[in-house]
Chains A and B, each alone.
Chain A
Amino acid sequence: MSAKNPEYDFKWCPGCGDFGVRRALEFGLQDYSSYHEQPMSNSVVIAGIGCSGNLVHLVEGEQPYGFHGIHGRTLPIAFGAKMARPELNVVVVAGDGDFLSIGMEHIAPQAARNLDICCVVMDNGVYGLTKGQSSPTTDLGVITTSTPYGKMEGDLNPLDYYLSIGVSFIASGYSSKPKDLGKLIQAGMEHKGFSIVHVMSPCTTYNDTYEQLKGNAKKGIEPIIFDVPASHNVTDREAARKLVSTSKVPIGIVYKNERPSLDKRLVELQGRVKVRSLQAQLDGFDL
């Protein structure tokens, strides 16, 4: 699990946004580890399949545990790991295809449970690894290899979706600002509940959006990204909805809500319920 492993034969394209996300995740994990005085091995990174999934193999320095699973199932694997061992710091890394298309069914249940994990979602608006098909965040009408005459369905607004299903911490980041992104990821890890850091992470091969995101004054292109205003009240859901409901992308913490996470509710239940021993369970079937 190091970039230096000669056998490891996966490479991202030059300029891929995921390089920045990887760096940011390293910052976030290191800061989390030193702040809590925990070994890195107390953190678990669970990845799906796609370009984003390979992030789990490329973390430099002291290594966290990793799980490179199957397409779309990062969240349930994380659910099992976290509830088995609530003391672990569990982080999910996934792309827009893995998380929002095949894995979509798993987001709402974790939001309802308020599972205490942090998800880093890399959104490049395209399926990169399978070479350029449309994803849920590809815009209406866009031509991709799988939409040769233009995409026939509208694009999903992920931040608005997260808000609607009750995700308790929502942040939006940009891969070219790894230091800032690292802080957002760390804030997501610190949040006691289900957190998603949704990152614009462009694909230089199939959907190069750097210029649109950053803007280009010379060409007269207005940037899509903007910093969340300091005046934004992150606990105000309606304000958050307004913030994410434009054609632009806010960068920063969008929404935060404090409520008990599933592991806390489990501890509460364990304290409240009188448990029968296994022998008593068996005795219950006596003749």
Chain B
Amino acid sequence: MAKRHDFVVRFAGEGGQGVVTAAEALARIAADVGYHGLTFSTFPSQILGGPTWTQARISTKPVLSPGDAVDVLVALNEDAFETHKEDLGPEGVIVYDSSFTPKSSGRMFGLPFDDLAKEAGDIRTANMVMMGALANLVGMPIKYLQDFIVNRYLSRGQAIVDANMKAIASGSSGAAATTFQIGELEPPTKPTYKQTMIKGNEAVALGSLAAGLEVYIGYPISPATPILLHMERNLIGPGKFAYQSSSEIESITSIIGAGYAGKKSMTATSGPGLSLMAEGIGLAWMAEIPCVIVNVQRGGPATGLPTKTEQSDLNMALTPAHGDTLIPVIAPGSVEECFYAAALAMNWAERYQGPVILLSEMSLAERAQNIPKPDLSKVAQETRKVYTGTNGYERYDGYELSPMPLPGKPGAYVANGSEHDSMGDTTHLPSRHIQMTTRRFSKLHLLEENVYEAENNGASVAVVPWGGSRGPSREAFEQLTAQGVKNVGWYYTMRINPLPPKMLEELRKKDLVIVPELNYLGQFSAYLRGLGVKAESITQYTGLPFRPTALASHIKELAGKHARKAVRA
């Protein structure tokens, strides 16, 4: 039987049918025994019901993306069956709930999930019936499932363990009775480092706390709400404050108030909330107040696609406010990077005394993945330069960053959103507007860091993804390398503004920079072109992430066209 090193399982059904928990359970089981797992979910914007699907990709190596075609589709109702059957790969198998009879036939079979669960002794074990069937189809030893059950449920009593064991066995034998197989999963190599299984939103919450976050104020919005919930539950103690605001306008202006008072402060939102925060972000830039705004991108504009993924807020993140602004932006490209990006955003805000936007996205925020466990003792904590002198201080003096006075101590000034003089008093003098504008932009240089990935950097063409498209692009790049494509290099950074100067310098020398990104306009390539890079986008705006294999052929095609052009020239 064919050996496989990874497979993709999709669970599709109605919200409330346990679809979400099934994918997460599978990823956790797999990670528990040493595989790597990653989930992808998309649900309707409603509390219960509606078509929902999640998938898990299980691999012997760390997983970079939700993957390509589906290997096993678990369809819990006929609608789900019809909607998702097209995404099945040529060797894929559909396991459907026998409550319905599909109109088509092929590599598929039915199992009465609920009935088998009831027979096992507990209706709640329906998920385990599915897991048993899956394990059989992909040739994963059933022992792994059994170990997981013992680890997970023994503390809750032998009866629960027994029911789950029976459920696994009946699912497995149900699948074994068919002739379908999709290969044999290679045994896992358990990582030697400590691991944690976490979602992007939670990683952002923990990363910001690791860098010393003290005040969090946010308004509920999909898909950023879990950050608010983590803070409300955990950001408690002397000098700390977490609160649900009355609107995103209140969120941004109140964290500015907290930042002004000396605290490390943050809010998190998604597209519509970022739109409401526009004026406030301009205020933080103008008055030079440290604060972090997390924007978990979803499909836009307006209410858009609240539960789908997109990378279409880059333009807005860079210049959210009217007037001359260029806000520092960090965009993590994986769940692990969500943690470090959030810590970096906190540090950047403190370092340059202004607002920083962390640009996450739905596909990362809701993705559960096993990652190397962050070592909290190694997370840097930067704190703003604070003024410690006597009264009469000119807070906005000069053309560069200066220490910030804090209320309660000498050095009273007016933090001003109107153009101001060195004391913070409103003025309209041309010389002051020149000085203050220069001052605000000069501080961006403090954030320039040459931290980026570069591979095959002699090639004249480079793939340069950003944010969540990093994973599928990396897989595509590795596919091309394996195919022997030589003229394509790789660059990546989560530091979007300012870009690592050395990386920018290298990109400017390329004949073509290919940017895979999930938006219509090609926002990152336009940004790069503005910086003097010959960049072109591969865009997708389906609300879903790229599929690596299709992306690889796009990249190859673009790079090939370029090569022919170069020959003719």
Q: A1-B423, A67-B414 are in contact. Are A81 and B196 (CB under 8 A)?
A: no
Most chain B Cβ neighbours within 10 Å, of A5, A7, A84: A84
- B-contacting 9-mer, from A188-196, A225-233, A251-259, A276-284: A276-284
Most chain A Cβ neighbours within 10 Å, of B217, B420, B426: B426
**What's the Cα separation between A88 and B239 when bound, in Å?**
13
User: Are B417's CB and A282's CB within 8 A?
Assistant: no
**What's the Cα separation between A66 and B261 when bound, in Å?**
11
* Binary contact track A68-92/B, C-beta < 8 Å → 1, others 0: 1110010011111111110110000
Q: A8-B427, A281-B234, A285-B198 are in contact. Are A80 and B408 (CB under 8 A)?
A: no
Query: How far apart are B346's CB and chain A's nearest CB, in angstroms?
Result: 13
**What's the Cα separation between A106 and B248 when bound, in Å?**
12
* Binary contact track A96-107/B, C-beta < 8 Å → 1, others 0: 000000000110
**What's the Cα separation between A54 and B427 when bound, in Å?**
12
For window 413-467 of chain B, which residues contact chain A by CB distance below 8 Å?
413-418, 420-421, 423-429, 432
**What's the Cα separation between A267 and B279 when bound, in Å?**
32
Q: A8-B427, A57-B425, A70-B279 are in contact. Are A77 and B234 (CB under 8 A)?
A: no
User: Are A68's CB and B253's CB within 8 A?
Assistant: no
Q: A9-B427, A65-B413, A88-B408 are in contact. Are A287 and B258 (CB under 8 A)?
A: no
Query: How far apart are A243's CB and chain B's nearest CB, in angstroms?
Result: 29
* Binary contact track A179-192/B, C-beta < 8 Å → 1, others 0: 00000000000000
Listed from nearest, the 4 A-B pairs whose CB atoms lie closest are A80-B257, A80-B254, A66-B414, A84-B258
For window 1-35 of chain A, which residues contact chain B by CB distance below 8 Å?
1, 5, 7-10
* Binary contact track B502-513/A, C-beta < 8 Å → 1, others 0: 000000000000
Query: How far apart are B429's CB and chain A's nearest CB, in angstroms?
Result: 6
What residue in chain A is nearest B370 (Cβ atoms)? A287
User: Are B202's CB and A88's CB within 8 A?
Assistant: no
Which residues from chain B contact A286 at a C-beta distance below 8 Å? 194-197, 373
**11 A-B contacts, Cβ less than 8 Å apart?**
A8-B426, A41-B391, A41-B408, A41-B411, A57-B414, A77-B260, A80-B258, A80-B261, A83-B241, A278-B209, A285-B202
State whether the Cβ of B246 lies closer than 8 Å to any Cβ in chain A: yes
Which residues from chain A contact B280 at a C-beta distance below 8 Å? 70, 73
Which residues from chain B contact A44 at a C-beta distance below 8 Å? 261, 407
**What's the Cα separation between A97 and B373 when bound, in Å?**
52
19 additional A-B pairs beyond A54-B426, A278-B210, beta carbons within 8 Å, are A41-B408, A42-B408, A65-B405, A68-B414, A73-B280, A77-B253, A77-B257, A83-B258, A84-B215, A84-B257, A84-B265, A88-B261, A88-B408, A106-B250, A270-B238, A273-B236, A282-B196, A282-B206, A286-B194
Which residues from chain A contact B391 at a C-beta distance below 8 Å? 41, 62-63
State whether the Cβ of A239 lies closer than 8 Å to any Cβ in chain B: no
Point out the residue from B237, B241, B370, B405 that lies within 8 Å of A275, measured CB to CB. B237
**What's the Cα separation between A105 and B247 when bound, in Å?**
9
Q: A7-B421, A41-B410, A81-B260 are in contact. Are A287 and B415 (CB under 8 A)?
A: no
Q: A73-B253, A84-B261, A287-B197 are in contact. Are A63 and B412 (CB under 8 A)?
A: yes
Which residues from chain A contact B243 at a C-beta distance below 8 Å? 83
**What's the Cα separation between A221 and B554 when bound, in Å?**
83
State whether the Cβ of A109 lies closer than 8 Å to any Cβ in chain B: yes
* Binary contact track B275-309/A, C-beta < 8 Å → 1, others 0: 00001101100010000000000000000000000
User: Are B408's CB and A66's CB within 8 A?
Assistant: no
Query: How far apart are A109's CB and chain B's nearest CB, in angstroms?
Result: 4
Which residues from chain A contact B376 at a C-beta distance below 8 Å? 278-279, 282
Q: A84-B263, A281-B209, A286-B196 are in contact. Are A66 and B426 (CB under 8 A)?
A: no
User: Are B257's CB and A40's CB within 8 A?
Assistant: no
User: Are A269's CB and B236's CB within 8 A?
Assistant: yes
**What's the Cα separation between A73 and B246 when bound, in Å?**
13
Query: How far apart are A30's CB and chain B's nearest CB, in angstroms?
Result: 14
Which residues from chain B contact A88 at a C-beta distance below 8 Å? 261, 407-408
**What's the Cα separation between A269 and B233 when bound, in Å?**
11
State whether the Cβ of A56 lies closer than 8 Å to any Cβ in chain B: yes
User: Are B412's CB and A79's CB within 8 A?
Assistant: no
User: Are B217's CB and A65's CB within 8 A?
Assistant: no
User: Are B254's CB and A68's CB within 8 A?
Assistant: no
What residue in chain B is nearest A81 (Cβ atoms)? B257
**What's the Cα separation between A57 and B253 when bound, in Å?**
20
State whether the Cβ of A156 lies closer than 8 Å to any Cβ in chain B: no
**What's the Cα separation between A274 and B505 when bound, in Å?**
51
State whether the Cβ of B331 lies closer than 8 Å to any Cβ in chain A: no
State whether the Cβ of A266 lies closer than 8 Å to any Cβ in chain B: yes
State whether the Cβ of A166 lies closer than 8 Å to any Cβ in chain B: no
State whether the Cβ of B114 lies closer than 8 Å to any Cβ in chain A: no
Which residues from chain A contact B373 at a C-beta distance below 8 Å? 282, 286
Query: How far apart are B412's CB and chain A's nearest CB, in angstroms?
Result: 4
Q: A275-B236, A285-B196 are in contact. Are A69 and B417 (CB under 8 A)?
A: yes
Query: How far apart are B349's CB and chain A's nearest CB, in angstroms?
Result: 14
State whether the Cβ of A170 lies closer than 8 Å to any Cβ in chain B: no
**What's the Cα separation between A109 and B245 when bound, in Å?**
9
User: Are A5's CB and B425's CB within 8 A?
Assistant: yes
Size of the chain A interface, CB-CB below 8 angstroms? 54
State whether the Cβ of B214 lies closer than 8 Å to any Cβ in chain A: yes
What residue in chain B is nearest A281 (Cβ atoms)? B234
User: Are A287's CB and B196's CB within 8 A?
Assistant: yes
**What's the Cα separation between A279 and B420 when bound, in Å?**
44
Which residues from chain A contact B425 at a C-beta distance below 8 Å? 1, 5, 7-8, 57
**What's the Cα separation between A106 and B246 when bound, in Å?**
8
**What's the Cα separation between A56 and B426 when bound, in Å?**
10
Query: How far apart are B77's CB and chain A's nearest CB, in angstroms?
Result: 32
**What's the Cα separation between A287 and B263 when bound, in Å?**
33
State whether the Cβ of B10 lies closer than 8 Å to any Cβ in chain A: no
Which residues from chain B contact A94 at a C-beta distance below 8 Å? none
User: Are B407's CB and A65's CB within 8 A?
Assistant: yes
Q: A1-B414, A77-B254, A285-B196 are in contact. Are A41 and B409 (CB under 8 A)?
A: yes
User: Are A76's CB and B421's CB within 8 A?
Assistant: no
State whether the Cβ of B476 lies closer than 8 Å to any Cβ in chain A: no
State whether the Cβ of A64 lies closer than 8 Å to any Cβ in chain B: yes
What residue in chain A is nearest B254 (Cβ atoms)? A80
State whether the Cβ of B28 lies closer than 8 Å to any Cβ in chain A: yes
Q: A80-B255, A85-B262, A278-B206 are in contact. Are A10 and B236 (CB under 8 A)?
A: no
User: Are A7's CB and B429's CB within 8 A?
Assistant: yes
Q: A73-B249, A80-B257, A84-B265 are in contact. Are A40 and B426 (CB under 8 A)?
A: no
State whether the Cβ of A121 lies closer than 8 Å to any Cβ in chain B: no
What residue in chain B is nearest A109 (Cβ atoms)? B246
**What's the Cα separation between A281 and B418 when bound, in Å?**
41
Which residues from chain B contact A66 at a C-beta distance below 8 Å? 412-416, 424
What residue in chain B is nearest A41 (Cβ atoms)? B412
State whether the Cβ of A199 lies closer than 8 Å to any Cβ in chain B: no
Query: How far apart are A161's CB and chain B's nearest CB, in angstroms?
Result: 17
User: Are A69's CB and B427's CB within 8 A?
Assistant: no
**What's the Cα separation between A143 and B197 when bound, in Å?**
65
Which residues from chain B contact A278 at a C-beta distance below 8 Å? 206, 209-210, 234, 376
Which residues from chain B contact A276 at a C-beta distance below 8 Å? 234
User: Are A282's CB and B374's CB within 8 A?
Assistant: yes
State whether the Cβ of A197 lies closer than 8 Å to any Cβ in chain B: no
User: Are B429's CB and A1's CB within 8 A?
Assistant: no
Which residues from chain A contact B410 at a C-beta distance below 8 Å? 39, 41
Which residues from chain B contact A287 at a C-beta distance below 8 Å? 28, 31-32, 195-197, 370
Query: How far apart are A40's CB and chain B's nearest CB, in angstroms?
Result: 7
What residue in chain B is nearest A5 (Cβ atoms)? B425
State whether the Cβ of A93 lies closer than 8 Å to any Cβ in chain B: no
**What's the Cα separation between A77 and B283 when bound, in Å?**
11
Most chain B Cβ neighbours within 10 Å, of A5, A9, A62, A81: A81
User: Are B426's CB and A9's CB within 8 A?
Assistant: yes
